[in-house]
Amino acid sequence: METDAPSGQGLTGRVALVTGGTSGIGAATAEALLAAGYRVAANYGSNKQAAQAFAARTGIPVFAWNVADLAACEAGVAQVQAALGPVAVLVNNAGITRDAMLHKMTAGQWREVLDVNLGGCFSMCRAVIEGMRERRFGRIINMSSINGLAGQAGQANYAATKAGLIGFTKSLALEGASCNITVNAIAPGYTDTAMVSAVRPEVLENILKSVPMGRLATPAEIARGVLFLAADEAGFITGITLSINGGKYMT
């Protein structure tokens, strides 16, 4: 495990930890939480150069570990708490895709996505939940997806994990309610990130046609949902899935 912790962050607010927090939606979320007065830590998986650049630009300390590994998550959370204090807000944003039609999907592609996207959420929550229960406060926000609600061809593995996060969220919300721990999910629609930008132009054009608002979400718009659910004023909201998708999928 590695850390690169700049000294410029001197806030006195609650500690928020964002997994996959150095790029895309995770980076926008970490920056929004920092601007709102939280003391923020950002986890990343492997791109050290990008993480260090993010840390230098924002002053947010970054910590490297594999969210699919429970022991690594426990050690990572301990390191964050030693540097910043007890984690009060956890944003489970880390996720990967290994897309393939099911008749061509390998067992490795299936298992890798489940281990990171769903197993990572379990491992991170397991690493913080006892402390939150002892302190009788916590905010957990799990990043699901529109494709966990609507499905998507070629993403049986990814959609299964994002749907699974919703059931996990509801169950943990029931467990945490008596300890003033709220657990909610956000299901972003198609968002202007590197993952979406990498799709073929004709595919992106079809995606935009399918969104009533006619555009992609910005990462900052998804981050606004995290800020809302993390706030004290959202203390009576738990077990929900907040869809931010421009009207593409309504439930």
Question: Cα separation of 238 and 184, whole Å?
Answer: 6
Higher pLDDT, 133 or 8: 133
**pLDDT, tens digit (0-9, with 9 covering 90-100), for 39-65:** 999 999 999 999 999 999 999 999 999
Q: Which 3 state secondary structure label does DSSP give 237?
A: coil
The structure tokens listed for 126 are 């397991």
Task: Taking residues 69-98, report their average pLDDT.
Answer: 98
* pLDDT bracket for residue 143 (50, 70, 90): very high
Answer CATH for 2-190+219-244 from 3.40.50.1820, 3.40.50.720, 3.30.1540.20, 3.40.50.150? 3.40.50.720
Task: Taking residues 191-205, report their average pLDDT.
Answer: 84
Answer whether residue 196 shows pLDDT above 90: no
Q: What is the pLDDT of residue 238?
A: 99
Q: What is the pLDDT of residue 198?
A: 76
Contact 238, 182 (CB under 8 A): yes
Phi/psi-derived region of residue 238, left when phi > 0, alpha when psi is between -120 and 50, beta in every other case: beta
Q: What is the pLDDT of residue 194?
A: 82
Answer whether residue 125 shows pLDDT above 60: yes
- CA angle at residue 120 from 119 to 124, to 5 degrees? 120
Write down the domain spans for the chain. 2-190+219-244
Burial of 179 (0-12, 13-18, 19+ CB in 10 A): middle
Q: Is the dihedral of CA 105, 167, 89, 31 positive or negative?
A: positive
User: Annotated active-site positions, please?
Assistant: 158
Length of the chain: 251
| Cβ partners under 8 Å of residue 243, min gap 6 | 146, 149, 186, 187, 189, 249, 250, 251
DSSP E strand stretches across the chain: 2-4, 15-18, 39-44, 62-64, 87-92, 138-143, 181-188, 241-244
Q: What is the pTM of this model?
A: 0.93
